[in-house]
Structure 1
Amino acid sequence: MVTLWFVLLGALFAGYFALAGADYGTALLLRTAPPGRRREVLAATGPFFLGNEVWLVAAVGVMFGAFPRLEGELLSALYPVLVLVLAALVAFTAAVQLRSRLGDGGKAGWDALIFGGAAVVALGWGVFLGALLAGLPLDAAGHRTGSIFSPVVVLSAPAFTALVAAHGAVFLRWRSTVDVRRLVVPLTRLAAGLVALVVVAAVVLVDGVEPLVALPGAAAVIGLVLAGGVLRPALAAACTAAACGLPVLVIGAARWPVALASTGDPAGALTVAEGAAGPATLSVLVWFAALVVPLVLAFQGMCWWAYRDRRPVFW
């Protein structure tokens, strides 16, 4: 039961990064478009924008209910990063919603807030993922005792940002009339290079990370390279989306059965079983999952079916 819930948690986070990564990626490229065409950039993800965020809400709900100790330890150890991500996410979402509803005045300011919010969210999630991969400086009681930054974390932040930017460029090539073809190849190559560096650094520098992690890392790099110059737009977007979701699955597999690794006192590490709720709670939560997960999938499928036409919807 614990394993199944952990897999569900990973799948929800991976789905969030794969889908919402397009939102953040297109926002990072917003200011490359002429001012008069920036609405088209936002319109590319407009129909899916709020639906993509539902995956994060569902993932946090699963963590809160099924892994309360893990949720508490993560919030304690990564509190500044997660608060910054949350604040940037709120600002980014509000700016996207308000930009076209308050007239033409001040759109440059909203554009700056959209770009800045997306950049902070992408960098913050990169730090978060890198810290989970590299481990945290925890004492025997599980409390953080030092800086979370290490070579892997420092590389992960720009790598994930480049990854979502590449995803945004490929997504715009597929779903928008804004010409971003000149950005697709350099961004996908930059993301591929940085992802490869993170994988190599994790295998060489981090204790407990198996070399087999290089296999899905190599798959992500190959997918990014192919998406940049070979594949058709829809398939290329699927590849970059998969590359955005892969880090969650890679970290879960690389650290299993440890949910929170410690680079300090080994006693501070938290296993998946230790971070989970009791069997009775997990059994009750099965009904929650049976209701929420199909609703999330159905809502997402409905949005994609309703807006399957690639033409942008102006909103």
Structure 2
Amino acid sequence: MELNTLWFCLIAVLWTGYLVLEGFDFGVGMWLSILGKTASERRAVLRTIGPVWDGNEVWLLTAGGATFAAFPEWYATLFSGFYLPLFLILVALIVRGVGLEFRSKLEGPRWQRRWEQAIQVGSWIPALLWGVAFANIVRGVPLDANHQFTGTFLGLLSPFALLGGLATTLLFLSHGAVFVALKTQGTLRTRALGWAKRMALPTLGVSGAFGLWTQVRYSVAWTWPVLGFVALALGAAALSVWREREGQAFTFNCLAIAGVVVLLFGSLFPDVMPALDPAHSLTVQNASSTAYTLRIMTYVAVALVPFVLAYQGWTYWVFRQRVTVDELTPTLGEG
């Protein structure tokens, strides 16, 4: 395997880690005021992701950095052409991060509610726009001979792209509800399982429709089994939710999201940024860095990535216990 193809695959792996881990973070944020009826319950919901959410975002930084180093033309075209949606995602992530850090700094209910609203908004926007962005990358965008984006923001809001945004939103909502059920007890767990049951069929239907559209219109023959795998994983997740086996459901959701990433990147290859005019497309060949750069990156990745994975795995193990509302001391204004 050539190094540029290897790094295309590694970037897909990084996006898989980000969407699987940050996916339930987004879901928890979107469910915050629905699952948490009181301030104590909302605090318990946030504590399910409290020790890990910032570590999960590292996957996005790493994916962006790897794209910049391995495929600089892809990075430049992507961030210039998708400037507005990516800027909105960045602002939303900042707002959500500030909300998670600042909510507990004061005990006033008005202060806490405002930051809780910021967390929710900062979770909904990326959940939707990541799907829109990836759908557009797979569909292809208008590029000129210099690989410059020549379209508009409204041009990115095609029916296919909007369906992609709806699919990722529902996937993350289901993922988040199952994660809250996995990490809590009592009323919160019951409420989260109830919403996970309600979300199972809509998620399967919309995600299946998006996957089928992707496969038929934009993908290749070898990704048909991948689409089947995604459908089976989502079906198994739904069945596990109905049996109230949230651990199994969470595992199947992770596998389904990973399968979606494989489907999307498999549909792209050997392009990294398809153009509506195929002659102007960016590929793993014409968008990549030099062989020397890719070789140095490979050595660094082999040396450092195992330590990063070990540390994050250790973090999840340390904070594996379930969160209960009773163990949290109420603060001023909590009802």
Place the TM-score, normalised by the shorter chain, in its bin: over 0.9
Structure 2: any 5+ residue segments left out of the alignment?
A: 330-335
Aligned to 1:274: 286
CA, structure 1 residues 246+5, in 2 after alignment: closer, same or farther (shift >3 Å)? Answer: same
Q: Could you give the per-residue CA deviations for residues 115-152 of structure 1, whole angstroms, max 9, x where no partner exists?
A: 11100011111111111221112222222223223221
Aligned to 2:264: 251
Aligned to 1:23: 25
1:305 CA drift (Å): 1.6
* Amino acid across the alignment from 1:35: T
> Helix, strand or coil: the match of 1:252?
helix
* Amino acid across the alignment from 2:263: V
1:47 aligns with 2:57: no
Q: TM-score, normalised by structure 1?
A: 0.93
Q: 1:58 aligns with which of 50, 59, 62?
A: 62
Contact 2:240 2:246 in 1 (8 A): no
Deviates more, 1:210-219 or 1:15-24: 210-219
Aligned to 1:170: 178
Give the number of the structure whose alpha-carbon radius of gyration is greater. Answer: 2
1:227 aligns with 2:268: no
* Amino acid across the alignment from 2:193: R
Contact 1:16 1:56 in 2 (8 A): yes
How far apart are the structure 2 equivalents of 1:65 and 1:20?
Answer: 23
User: What does 1:1-315 correspond to in 2, within 5 Å?
Assistant: 1-32=3-34, 33-36=36-39, 37-105=41-109, 106-146=111-151, 147-177=155-185, 178=188, 179-204=191-216, 206=217, 208-230=218-240, 232-263=245-276, 265-311=277-323
Instruction: Give 4+ residue runs of structure 1 displaced > 4 Å after superposition.
Output: 312-315
Contact 2:240 2:248 in 1 (8 A): no
Deviates more, 1:277-286 or 1:219-228: 219-228
CA, structure 1 residues 69+234, in 2 after alignment: closer, same or farther (shift >3 Å)? Answer: same
CA, structure 1 residues 4+63, in 2 after alignment: closer, same or farther (shift >3 Å)? Answer: same
Tell me how many residue pairs correspond in the alignment. 312
Q: TM-score, normalised by structure 2?
A: 0.88
Contact 1:26 1:168 in 2 (8 A): yes
> Helix, strand or coil: the match of 1:143?
coil
How far apart are the structure 2 equivalents of 1:233 and 1:183?
Answer: 12
Contact 1:164 1:244 in 2 (8 A): no
Q: Could you give the per-residue CA deviations for residues 207-252 of structure 1, whole angstroms, max 9, x where no partner exists?
A: x422543432332233223222336211211111222233322111
CA, structure 1 residues 314+125, in 2 after alignment: closer, same or farther (shift >3 Å)? Answer: farther
1:71 CA drift (Å): 0.6
> Helix, strand or coil: the match of 2:272?
strand
1:69 CA drift (Å): 1.2
Contact 1:126 1:158 in 2 (8 A): yes
How far apart are the structure 1 equivalents of 2:215 and 2:323?
Answer: 43
1:46 CA drift (Å): 1.4
How far apart are the structure 2 equivalents of 1:101 and 1:221?
Answer: 43
* Amino acid across the alignment from 1:171: F
* Amino acid across the alignment from 2:23: G
1:314 CA drift (Å): 6.1
Contact 1:12 1:58 in 2 (8 A): yes
CA, structure 1 residues 93+245, in 2 after alignment: closer, same or farther (shift >3 Å)? Answer: farther
CA RMSD of aligned residues (A): 1.9
* Amino acid across the alignment from 1:120: I
Contact 1:137 1:148 in 2 (8 A): no
* Amino acid across the alignment from 1:150: S
How far apart are the structure 1 equivalents of 2:258 and 2:221?
Answer: 20
CA, structure 1 residues 168+141, in 2 after alignment: closer, same or farther (shift >3 Å)? Answer: same
1:268 CA drift (Å): 1.5
How far apart are the structure 2 equivalents of 1:133 and 1:304?
Answer: 33
Q: Could you give the per-residue CA deviations for residues 20-59 of structure 1, whole angstroms, max 9, x where no partner exists?
A: 1110001111011212310111111112111111111111
> Helix, strand or coil: the match of 2:105?
coil
Aligned residues: percent identity? 31
